[in-house]
Amino acid sequence: MTERVQLHQARRLVVKIGSALLTNDGRGLDVEALGLWVDQMAALVAQGVELVVVSSGSVAEGMSRLGWKDRPQQLHELQAAAAVGQMGLVQTWEAQFKRHGIHTAQILLTHDDLSDRKRYLNGRSTLRALLDFGVVPIVNENDTVVTDEIRFGDNDTLGALVANVVEADGLIILTDQLGLFDKDPRKHTDASLITERFAGDSALDAMAGGSAGALGRGGMQTKLRASRLAARSGAFTVIVGGRIEGVLTRLRQGEVVGTLLLPEQGRIAARKQWLASHLQTRGKLTLDDGAVKVLRQGGRSLLPVGVQGVVGRFRRGEMVSCVGLDGNEVARGLVNYDADDARAIAGRSSVSITDILGYISDEEMIHRDNMVII
């Protein structure tokens, strides 16, 4: 199918692997299977693909190491299992990627990290820097410190959020099911695999009613919700069986395996629409005529040198309005500097930012990917 070309052309992917796969349904970390996935991911890296791995399994691996057969109910016991299991999990990822000469990094996140704007931006900068360095980040929920009940399946949502953060082309969810079926294949022998749909198709909701296994709590419903969250930034999602031989390689080659859930719009178009829908702005930047012309005709980023005035109290990452000297709005976008710092560097060359502020966040006041022309 023509849309599968997207997988062949993808340059940045998030791969999420569930607990049942990583721990061989709870029998301990499946090092052999993990190594096979890493072999395939290393081949993708060699092709120029940037990868982020969202890895479940810390609590399940901890339970195995501690000899626990049943999932404990007490929060502190779950957190202890996560702490024990995380040691083995990250060491195994590191060792397997090291066979291919690829460095890895551990990133532990909570939902608070992605909902707080400052921490979100810091996390995004770190992840992007790691990708620039050719490092494969291994992301997991920070189960040792979360105050809410630990839910294994929540990493489906985390995978989608990470895909949004790094502006990935796609999210691949490896699971113990072959994909999304039109009815529960465990109960209906005539169930058919859904090979491709738009993520927002409401007809999928009734089809995703199956529950997860004993280790994971995600089920198809959370995977469908994750695909819709990823689609907000224009990323596609593939839900596919992780035990399929050579699954990542076959997906990359465009083979029809698993369920491909497509966004309604491309990545850039979806992001621009999201930016345009932000009606509330936190401040205003007044631009000189040269900057207005560049934005309207050249599709360029806004540099500090083109800013003549700064109004408002805003933080880095918040939405600001860009107006010309005549007061008419030209664009709006997510600003890279707090209001005070923006005032300090307004009208100045980007090369002088470090001398003025003592640091540099970005060369642009607003990057073109975070801006929509009005």
Q: Tell me how far apart the alpha carbons of residues 322 and 341 are, in angstroms, rounded to a whole number.
A: 17
When the pLDDT of each residue in the chain is averaged and rounded to a whole number, the result is 86
Name, of 41-50, 224-233, 267-276, the range with top average pLDDT.
41-50
List of residues 6+ apart from 115 with CB closer than 8 A? none
How high is the pLDDT of residue 216?
A: 41
How high is the pLDDT of residue 317?
A: 85
Longest CA–CA span in the chain (Å) reads 71
Is the pLDDT confidence value at 148 over 80? no
Average of per-residue pLDDT across 120-135: 91
Note the CATH architecture for domain 278-373: Roll (2.30)
Domain map (residue ranges) of the chain: 2-267, 278-373
List of residues 6+ apart from 73 with CB closer than 8 A? none
How high is the pLDDT of residue 341?
A: 96
Average of per-residue pLDDT across 299-328: 93
Task: Name which of 180-189, 269-278, 344-353 the model is least confident about.
Answer: 269-278
Query: Are 128 and 166 contacting, i.e. CB atoms less than 8 angstroms apart?
Result: yes
How high is the pLDDT of residue 214?
A: 40
Q: What pLDDT band is residue 109 in, cutting at 50, 70 and 90?
A: confident
Q: Tell me how far apart the alpha carbons of residues 307 and 324 are, in angstroms, rounded to a whole number.
A: 10
Average of per-residue pLDDT across 63-82: 84
Q: Tell me how far apart the alpha carbons of residues 184 and 267 are, in angstroms, rounded to a whole number.
A: 32
Is the pLDDT confidence value at 24 over 70? yes
List of residues 6+ apart from 236 with CB closer than 8 A? 6, 7, 169, 170, 171, 199, 230, 260, 261, 262, 263
Q: What pLDDT band is residue 215 in, cutting at 50, 70 and 90?
A: very low
How high is the pLDDT of residue 146?
A: 59
Q: Tell me how far apart the alpha carbons of residues 134 and 52 are, in angstroms, rounded to a whole number.
A: 11
List of residues 6+ apart from 340 with CB closer than 8 A? none
Task: Name which of 36-50, 101-115, 158-172, 290-304 the model is least confident about.
Answer: 101-115
Question: What is the gyration radius of the CA atoms in the chain, in angstroms?
Answer: 22
Task: Name which of 35-44, 105-114, 159-168, 169-178 the model is least confident about.
Answer: 105-114
Q: What pLDDT band is residue 217 in, cutting at 50, 70 and 90?
A: very low
Average of per-residue pLDDT across 352-367: 93
Note the CATH architecture for domain 2-267: 3-Layer(aba) Sandwich (3.40)
How high is the pLDDT of residue 159?
A: 92
Q: What pLDDT band is residue 43 in, cutting at 50, 70 and 90?
A: very high
- Backbone φ and ψ of 265, nearest 5°: -130, 160
Q: What pLDDT band is residue 151 in, cutting at 50, 70 and 90?
A: very low
Is the pLDDT confidence value at 211 over 60? no
Angle, CA of 281, 284 and 286, to the nearest 5°: 150
Q: What pLDDT band is residue 69 in, cutting at 50, 70 and 90?
A: confident
Locate 318 and state its tokens. 């918040």
Q: Tell me how far apart the alpha carbons of residues 52 and 86 are, in angstroms, rounded to a whole number.
A: 17
